[in-house]
Structure 1
Amino acid sequence: MDAPQYVLWQSQLDGGPAATGSRAPLDGDTTADVCIVGAGYTGLWTAYYLTRRDPSLDVLVVEANSAGFGASGRNGGWCSALLPQGVEAMARRHGRPAALAMRQAMVDTVREVGDVVAAEQIDCDFRLGGTVVVARNPAQLARARAEVEHDRAWDGIDGLELLDAGQTREHIGVDGALGATYTPHCARIQPAKLARGLADVVERSGVRIAEGTRATSVSTGEVTTESGRVRARHVLRATEAWTPALHGHRREVVPVYSLIIATEPLPPDFWDTAGLARGETFSEHRHVIVYGQRTADDRLVFGGRGAPYHYGSSIRPHFDQEPAVFAALQSALVDLFPAVEGAEITHRWGGPLGIARDWHASVGYDPASGLGAAGGYVGDGVSTTNLAGRTLADLVTGTESELTRLPWVGHRSRRWEPEPLRWLGVNAGLRLAQMADAEEARTGRPARLGRVLDALTGH
């Protein structure tokens, strides 16, 4: 199955799915000042800011498929201030001021994305409505309260508010909500439109994008692709979940799949109760991650984890389709919004995201070799990639800034274990999260397994 056919976001692009992948591949050897491997958000944002730091730079982006083909064009559409790594972990390693600076940078980044979208006139349904995370049993409500207290202990940087049941209904009408947390630092977007818009903007700035050009290795001064070699002073890897496919990088991240469903456009009487009128994104205080939004054309888009990790860090097109996971997502959506039962599910899709061994996103650049990279976003990459792109642009151009001093710069995660330990560990973690949710639904008390999960994920 051709991915653009079943990804809602791709099907909504001007020209439809056939309009993707229209750029020519690399045709033989070439040179550039900067070669970026990967035309997802990280690569495109890096190219965008490089051309603004130094318009004289010759920037080439090589992409195995088409710009925005991976997670950038098929995610849940949350442009949030979320980071995968916990603030305590950052503080233990770098100190409280550095951890707070990192959190503030992410809050600022949400606004930065909105500013660029407005300035460059990128039509991607950007709407800054915040995120509401509902609590539907006593254990979830206790976790919500704890998160708000935690945020206050860290100077309220995330702006978390605790909502009671009535205040929750002002944002979202889900069944059985006891309360919720709310943060203003998130925007709803149409992710494929953002990816395409960024690609068009950087091309107008003189950046070359070679689609259908699969890189097989990166090294000092050179990128080897199936279509030719690129000689470049600066080589930047922006491959996220596809990193294990590059020679020498198999154990840097694990690709874990997240799947999504989308309903048909829903009628006004549904939204009179369901809410989300301000463009809020939504989730639930459970252990298995779920995420959703009301789209600009009044669909519900709802996704979550639950698909297995595939042995050997494998990525295959058919892994995007897991009927049992799609059925579970639909059941969970109906549980949240009973009135959606009977609505047609028009699109079902998925894709891999990259997880570092310590759940810590990072940006790195070595001036001596000219090699750089960013990634490990654990599904929180829509805005994090913008911060990574700005940071890489400063590092490459030798610009000293607050961004280059952030604690994720130069962070090195240790490598994942070899197989079969990797397969056993990742899938065991998923099973633990499912068991913790089942325990809390049954008892109403916080699951003891939750503490094990927090330890495993660095929180």
Structure 2
Amino acid sequence: MRHPPAGEPCWAPADRDPAGPPAADAPPQRVRGVLTADVTVVGAGLAGLATAYYLADRNPSLDILVADAERPAAGASGRGTGLLGPRVGPVIDKAVRLYGPSTARRMYLASVGAVERVVELCAHLGTPCGLRTGEQLVASRAAPGLVALSRQAESYRSLGLDVPVLSAVGIHNRLDVPYHAGLLYRSATLDPAALSGALARACAAKGVRFFGNSPLLGIRSSAAAAGGGKGTTHLVFPGGTVRTRKAVLAVNAAAGSLGLPVGTVLPLRVHAIATAPLATEAREALGGRTGCALIDAHPLAPYFRLSHDGRLVMGGGRAVLATAPDRAGSTGAWGWLEERLRLLHPSVSEVQVSHRWSGTIGMTGDGLPVVGPLPGSPDVWYIGGCCGHGLAMSVAHGAHAAAMLDGGDAAHQLPWHRSQAPRIPVRGPAKALLRAHLRMLERGARRAA
């Protein structure tokens, strides 16, 4: 069978520029010389664009500048699988043990609110972004997964949270797949690149300045730069410098290469495939009626959902350290995902796989994101480490950072607001151990599938 070339996800058809401003045929303007701004956002993914959007909405007088190493949605925000579900940090029973019932409940409700915020944002932007509200099923057909789901269900009940448990019959009423039990969440799916592009255009309409092809090289305080005013941060790019009063570094897994003091945010490469639009029978069998997406309860096991144009999108299977290109590893990951797709339902056994792609996510040691000011630098924020749940979280983090930088009440901080993640050794022998751990998770995912 002929395989499609690896490259762009199915969110970026040739007749549409997914990333907006200022015009589809205009080359991105680079940072050159010395520029100034009230607030500079580094990173034009969903977190950075949401920060700029909500800041401009709260305070139209601000001079806001967004700089990106490439262009809007070029990174993880444009290469996800479009799942918009409530999840942050560890699973609910583990969250209760680690943080206590009250904090675990607040964390879950905040993640539900993050999903609702994205749905409202799409409506406010006046663009559908491929949005489809529906359900997300976290299910298992292996004994360890069923035990884990049972513990989670009990925790949800004890916290008074409405997360229904489905039997095999309940699952079959939504999806024609042989899973034995699952937890059902209200959720949605959308085109992440379209949302990024819509946000970028909305920011440009509010006067936000955009600069592309400008990777951040370093940060200097005013004390280290001649002529810098008090309270000024100097952001250094290949072609110039931006002097800014406040900065948001929405650079996710690039934190390590920039030497940011935010703990360890591991860059992991994950993989996905998409099919050509499915026939009616296949759509109906795989969530077409209810808009139900399925995530296997085992880490890295395959998950799938239907796109707004009827494609089956599947991800999971393998995560590798994204420190160097790994063509053979990616080819193997895509091949295994296609094998699982063929076994999912008879109606997709011969369907064409039209797209294969990968993207880099940021992982932390405890599964919680990092969103807060750099230690000792209250006017320089970092956002990243959403651990594969960045679609809803990134928008919520952008709104949170915008509010706090514009004088918001610290009492309304997100439950996981923090400046640093745990440190994880990733060099020398520790790197080999980390790779071995990822391979162990992959083997477990294959057994679960």
TM surpasses 0.5 = yes
Bigger CA drift: 145-154 or 370-379? 145-154
Name the structure 1 match of 2:190: 189
Q: 1:338 to 1:243 in 2, by over 3 A?
A: farther
Establish whether residue 203 from structure 1 lines up as the match of residue 215 from structure 2.
no
Name the structure 2 match of 1:357: 365
Q: What letter is aligned with 1:168?
A: I
Once the two structures are superposed, what CA deviation does each residue of 1:344-368 show, in whole Å capped at 9, x if it has no partner? 1111000110112332212112685
Identity of aligned residues (%): 27
Give the 3-state SS of the residue equivalent to 1:171 in structure 2: coil
* Alpha-carbon shift at residue 303 of structure 1 (Å): 0.6
Establish whether residue 140 from structure 1 lines up as the match of residue 145 from structure 2.
yes
Q: What letter is aligned with 1:170?
A: N
* Alpha-carbon shift at residue 247 of structure 1 (Å): 4.1
Of 179, 182, 187, the residue aligned with 1:180 is 182
The TM-score normalised by the length of structure 2 is 0.88
Name the structure 2 match of 1:326: 334
CA distance in 2, matches of 1:295, 1:418: 37
Establish whether residue 45 from structure 1 lines up as the match of residue 50 from structure 2.
yes
Name the structure 2 match of 1:69: 74
Name the structure 2 match of 1:26: 31
Establish whether residue 226 from structure 1 lines up as the match of residue 227 from structure 2.
no
Write out aligned runs for 1:83-102 (5 A): 83-87=88-92, 95-102=100-107
* 2:286–2:306 CA contact under 8 A, matched in 1: no
The TM-score normalised by the length of structure 1 is 0.86
* 1:47–1:207 CA contact under 8 A, matched in 2: yes
CA distance in 1, matches of 2:341, 2:324: 27
Once the two structures are superposed, what CA deviation does each residue of 1:36-65 show, in whole Å capped at 9, x if it has no partner? 110001100111111122111111111001
Of 401, 406, 415, the residue aligned with 1:397 is 406
Of 404, 419, 422, the residue aligned with 1:414 is 422
Name the structure 2 match of 1:212: 213
* Alpha-carbon shift at residue 124 of structure 1 (Å): 0.7
Establish whether residue 162 from structure 1 lines up as the match of residue 165 from structure 2.
yes
* 2:426–2:434 CA contact under 8 A, matched in 1: no
CA distance in 2, matches of 1:434, 1:85: 19
Q: What letter is aligned with 2:8?
A: Y
Q: 1:16 to 1:82 in 2, by over 3 A?
A: closer
RMSD, matched Cα: 2.7
Once the two structures are superposed, what CA deviation does each residue of 1:399-430 show, in whole Å capped at 9, x if it has no partner? 105532x3321252232214124422322222
Q: What letter is aligned with 1:191?
A: P
CA distance in 2, matches of 1:192, 1:228: 28
Establish whether residue 371 from structure 1 lines up as the match of residue 395 from structure 2.
no
* Alpha-carbon shift at residue 332 of structure 1 (Å): 1.5
Give the 3-state SS of the residue equivalent to 1:414 in structure 2: coil
CA distance in 1, matches of 2:96, 2:43: 31
* 2:30–2:239 CA contact under 8 A, matched in 1: yes
Name the structure 2 match of 1:427: 435
CA distance in 1, matches of 2:304, 2:373: 35
Give the 3-state SS of the residue equivalent to 1:387 in structure 2: helix
Establish whether residue 242 from structure 1 lines up as the match of residue 254 from structure 2.
yes
Give the 3-state SS of the residue equivalent to 2:127 in structure 1: coil
CA distance in 2, matches of 1:43, 1:260: 24
Name the structure 2 match of 1:452: none
Structure 1 spans left out of the alignment, 5+ residues: 442-459
Of 2, 7, 10, the residue aligned with 1:8 is 10
CA distance in 2, matches of 1:242, 1:212: 15
Q: What letter is aligned with 2:251?
A: T
Q: What letter is aligned with 2:402?
A: A
* Alpha-carbon shift at residue 5 of structure 1 (Å): 5.0
Q: What letter is aligned with 2:71?
A: S
Structure 2 spans left out of the alignment, 5+ residues: 222-232
CA distance in 1, matches of 2:324, 2:404: 31
* Alpha-carbon shift at residue 396 of structure 1 (Å): 0.8
CA distance in 2, matches of 1:223, 1:71: 22
Once the two structures are superposed, what CA deviation does each residue of 1:87-139 show, in whole Å capped at 9, x if it has no partner? 56666676533332222111112111111110111231112212013322344
Bigger CA drift: 13-22 or 60-69? 13-22
* Alpha-carbon shift at residue 439 of structure 1 (Å): 5.8
Name the structure 2 match of 1:111: 116
What is the number of residues matched between the two proteins? 430
Q: 1:164 to 1:90 in 2, by over 3 A?
A: closer
* 2:92–2:156 CA contact under 8 A, matched in 1: no
* 1:21–1:212 CA contact under 8 A, matched in 2: no
More helix by share: 1
* 1:257–1:305 CA contact under 8 A, matched in 2: no
Once the two structures are superposed, what CA deviation does each residue of 1:156-203 show, in whole Å capped at 9, x if it has no partner? 1xx3211122211221111x222322111x210011101111110111
Establish whether residue 171 from structure 1 lines up as the match of residue 183 from structure 2.
no
CA distance in 2, matches of 1:20, 1:377: 32
Name the structure 2 match of 1:297: 309
Of 395, 403, 423, the residue aligned with 1:386 is 395
* Alpha-carbon shift at residue 244 of structure 1 (Å): 2.4
Q: What letter is aligned with 2:239?
A: S
* 1:258–1:352 CA contact under 8 A, matched in 2: yes
Of 258, 264, 279, the residue aligned with 2:270 is 258
Q: What letter is aligned with 1:27?
A: R
Name the structure 1 match of 2:226: none
